[in-house]
Amino acid sequence: MVTAFVSVSVAPGTDEEIVKDFIKDGRVAEAWLTMGEFDILLIVKVKDAEEMNDFVNNVVRTRESVIRATTALGIESIRQD
């Protein structure tokens, strides 16, 4: 299992609508509206890097309101609640 953190910048005023669409995808474990450089943080759980690539390229980047997306792959969870 791969855990990834996908940070997404979107067009102004579209963050709440687009995050609701993202959470419909079963690979999205959590979705956060954020302030700062990015508007949305997605915590995504997939089986491998190929599935992560599919998610980013075919779900995130295909949205017209997405301006920028970056992905960080988690290597070890230090603390879980």
Q: pLDDT, tens digit, for every residue of 6-57?
A: 999 999 999 999 999 999 999 999 999 999 999 999 999 999 999 999 999 9
Q: Which of 50, 36, 38, 52 is nearest to 3 (CA)?
A: 52
- Residue 81 pLDDT > 70: no
Half-sphere exposure for 76 (CA within 13 Å, toward CB): 1
Delineate the domains of the chain, giving CATH numbers in brackets. Answer: 2-73 (3.30.70.920)
